[in-house]
Amino acid sequence: MKRNRNESAFMNFLRQKNKTPEDVAAALEISPRAVYYWTSGTREPRLTVRQIQALCRLLDCSVFDLPPDFGMVDS
């Protein structure tokens, strides 16, 4: 899938998995706004082990499949 230059690596990853920031927020029991902060690069995620496990279950991936940077990446 082609990467959209105006989106973060994490948002592109979510699109590949057919998930939304709202899906992530629900799975992690956090606010959707927190997820949007990550994707904009405003804040970095601070997840517990349980939240990381829930994120990987939701996205059907390994922690190693997650993008190393959730925010906007300079091109």
Q: What is the residue whose two structure tokens read 């590949």?
A: 16
Q: What is d(CA 3, CA 46) in angstroms, rounded to the nearest whole number?
A: 25
Is 52 inside any structural domain? yes
pLDDT for position 51:
97
**DSSP, residue by residue, 38-53:** HHHTSS-----HHHHH
Does some domain include residue 38? yes
Is residue 68 a part of any domain in this protein?
no
35 inside domain: yes
In a domain, 70, yes or no: no
Task: Give the CATH number for residue 17.
Answer: 1.10.260
- Give 54-75 pLDDT, tens digit per residue: 999 999 999 999 998 887 655 5
> The domain containing residue 25 runs over which residues?
9-62
Q: Is residue 19 part of a domain?
A: yes
When divided into structural domains, the chain yields a total of: 1
